[in-house]
Amino acid sequence: MNGFGHGWGMGFGWLVPLLIVAVIYYLLQEKKEKKSDAQDILDKRYASGGIGTEEYEQKSQLLRKHG
pLDDT by residue, tens only, the chain of 67 residues:
454 555 555 666 778 888 899 998 988 876 665 556 888 899 999 999 999 999 999 999 998 887 6
- Please give the residue range of the domain that contains residue 43: 14-66
Residues 6+ apart with CB under 8 A from 37: none
**pLDDT, position 32:** 63
**Total of domains in the chain:** 1
Q: Contact at 8 Å (CB) between 19 and 37?
A: no
Query: Does residue 5 form part of some domain?
Result: no
Return the pLDDT at 52: 94
Which alpha helices (H) appear in 13-52, and where do they start and end? 15-47
Q: Is residue 23 part of a domain?
A: yes
